[in-house]
Amino acid sequence: MRIVDAHVHIWRAVSDYPVPNATIISSYSDVPVELLDDYRAEHGIERAVLVQPLFPGQDNSYVADCAAVRPDQYAAVCVVDPLSADAPERLTYWVRERGCKGLRLRPMMASEAAAFAAPHSLKLWEHAAALGVVINIVARPQHLATLHERAAQFPTVPIIVDHIAHPDPRAGVDSADFQAVLALAQFPNVFIKPTGYYYYSQERYPYADCWPLFRAVYNHFGAARLIWGSDFPHVLLKTGYARSLHMQERVYSDLPAADLEAIMGRNALRLYWG
């Protein structure tokens, strides 16, 4: 089975980041691509998608450079400031000049929430469509109404919703918030990452309270629109890489082999490497 880790972060230590513990692993820690290489080699990961972390801001150089050196192994997802007037031009630079294949929008961050729904953000989406990039969205349920609009407005743009939009398992599959997630299935260009369970689960691994959520997105979107990612390096302190990698086949042992192959690699290969 060809495995692609579609959600990893790497960075060089940033000692002056204003909130050092903004994520599970501090910005003060160096997380180099070589460490990721070690885990990939140990677990047979063919390729990985390098998603720009919070710490370097809009300087996507490290992920872009790592992907440029080994484009057959890595694809880079950049960020630009959506509030900036020249955001479309910055995106063009990172895609055309530096080889990035995706853009990440982060409405769950307070500094970017307003921009996500703002009319001027449509220009950034238009550029993304013209450039042929994949848009990754890290959001919460309150941002899904806008996402519904964008998915309808830009049907040619592949959209990946990170971490199932951080649902509340206690509210259940029938809650209005989670029904808004499932309603995205009407748009063929929307994909879901059933990942990052430890961000919203009320239980320890294997996060049994999230199993109904996975089943629901699997039933609504189908295996062809689900994409696995580890959330490296944060997963190392929460779940462990091996358990994250094997969770799908262990917990959902009834998945057909073809569906598991799609979720674990084939879908990401198609989106990022054609």
Give the pLDDT means over successive 10-residue stretches in the chain (274 positions). 97 74 79 97 98 90 98 98 93 98 95 91 96 97 97 98 97 98 98 97 97 98 98 96 97 97 98 96
Query: How confident is the model over 162-189, as pLDDT tens digits?
Result: 999 999 999 999 999 999 999 999 999 9
Residue 113 belongs to what H/E stretch? helix 110-117
How many Å apart are CA 161 and CA 196, to the nearest integer? Answer: 12
How big is the CA angle at 69 (ends 99 and 72), to the nearest 5 degrees? 80
All domains in the chain, ordered by first residue: 4-273 (3.20.20.140)
* pLDDT for position 124: 96
The reported pLDDT for the residue numbered 18 is 65
Distance CA 248, CA 264 (A): 9
Q: Retrieve residue 178's tokens.
A: 């989670």
The pTM is what?
0.96
Q: Which of 199, 263, 194, 192 lies closest to 234 in space, CA to CA?
A: 199
Q: What are the φ/ψ torsions at residue 122 (nearest 5 degrees)?
A: -60, -30
